[in-house]
Chain A
């Protein structure tokens, strides 16, 4: 623009031209300075500023990622801690419930076992008593049978000396009948 002003300024006596001359302004130098700055500025940006800006951006994003990762990890840690506490509480609750159930089962089992043992004992007692009664009855029967046999033998001996065969036979029959009745009566008792 200044160049334009200078170009249209007219005569060398013009104040603008004289001013420009006193400061040594020349179009060639002006253009050379402009080109020089543009070149330096471009090279500076292309080979120094831009890579540095890129590195700064990368670093920023990495820091941001790191911070986000830390935050995520913190949140995950808190969540894991909460989960652990929840699991612990749940496990405790389950353990208590299990313990209570086991206790109850145990009591029930003990009761059942006690009952079963008692019943078994009662059964055994009853069986023993029955066996005892049966044995006693059998013993009594045997005793009676022996007593009867002895009585019969003694009577036979006694009677054989005084009784006839016919009388002896009749007496034997009658005694056998009586004994049989007695035995039957004793068993029922």
Chain B
């Protein structure tokens, strides 16, 4: 199916093999098991997923009451996310939503940062003039980000219906939020139709969260890949030096995007399930 060329082992020091060429927006299919395509994005996702699990087990074998440095790092991440997300989601739903939210954060963060490792986009083979690399950053594959967004929205639906009930959710979206005692019957009835229309707009906005979540993450990581690729092409005489500031930028973007994705999902859940602010 493919004409396997010479496997190019080029780490970071040897530069980006596809420097100067725009990165493909879709992953390359490396192999097929039946109908299932093994793409470079999927392959790298599996590798990093395994690495996440192994690293976490290495970092935390048996959590100690007096933590070591590695445990402190993990505890710091967990506590930061917990303290940040808890007021957004609300204490009532926090216990249910936290495993998912911390999972999103750690998974996206490590997948993003792993895109900067040497070998990503540089180890592969040539098919004629076309370079097919083995490892594509997970979040530079829209399948991955779309899957994360789909899980986020399915979980959102589950948490909302579980905690608010179907009726409560529909009332929250379509219900008339005006105070009956402060308005005349005519205006109140009129507002009912307004809120109904707003509810439909809200539904569209909810549906588009799937697109916005997935494309935001994909766009940032894919954009970062392109940025580093093109920066290398701009200065081929110093391609070991010039991209370094952009690597730092990508580290920052990787963290920010993991943070944004987690926060947005928390906000979506909290916007319907969190009533603590109203009670305070």
Contacts and interface: CB of A to CB of B under 8 A. Distances in A.
Nearest to A49: B102
Contacts of B144: 33
A25 interface: yes
Contacts of B56: 44, 47-48
B75 interface: yes
Contacts of A149: none
A52 B60 contact: yes
Contacts of B165: none
Contacts of B74: 48, 52
Interface stretch (A56-64, A107-115, A140-148, A180-188): A56-64
A45 B102 contact: yes
Contact of A26 (B52, B75, B143, B151): B143
Contacts of A42: 99, 103
B82 to A, nearest CB: 8
A44 B53 contact: yes
Contacts of B25: 22-24
A1 B65 contact: no
Given A2-B150, A37-B107, A56-B78, A28 B35 contact: yes
Contact of B71 (A2, A25, A52, A53): A52
Given A22-B25, A38-B151, A33 B143 contact: yes
Contact of B65 (A33, A34, A49, A62): A62
B27 interface: yes
Contacts of A41: 99-100, 103-104, 107
Interface in A6-61: 22-26, 28-34, 36-45, 47-56, 58-59
Contacts of A28: 35-37
Given A40-B107, A44-B53, A48-B56, A30 B148 contact: no
B45 interface: yes
Contacts of A51: 60, 62-63
A185 B74 CA distance: 134
B216 to A, nearest CB: 14
B115 to A, nearest CB: 16
A40 B49 CA distance: 6
A36 B26 contact: no
Contact of A44 (B37, B41, B52, B153): B52
A54 B75 CA distance: 11
Contact of B142 (A23, A48, A55): A23
Contacts of B49: 36, 39-40
A62 B63 CA distance: 15
B87 to A, nearest CB: 18
A44 B81 CA distance: 15
B222 to A, nearest CB: 9
A23 B58 CA distance: 36
Contacts of B71: 52
Given A31-B147, A48-B60, A52-B78, 17 more contacts: A2-B146, A22-B25, A29-B41, A30-B143, A33-B146, A33-B147, A36-B46, A37-B148, A38-B151, A40-B49, A41-B100, A45-B102, A48-B56, A48-B57, A52-B63, A52-B75, A55-B75
Q: Which 10 A-B pairs have the closest CB atoms?
A: A24-B26, A41-B103, A33-B147, A55-B63, A48-B56, A29-B143, A23-B142, A45-B99, A34-B147, A40-B49
28 contacts: A1-B207, A22-B25, A24-B41, A24-B143, A26-B37, A28-B35, A29-B27, A29-B143, A33-B141, A33-B146, A34-B147, A34-B150, A36-B45, A37-B148, A37-B151, A40-B52, A41-B104, A44-B106, A45-B102, A47-B53, A47-B60, A48-B59, A49-B99, A51-B63, A52-B60, A52-B78, A55-B67, A55-B75
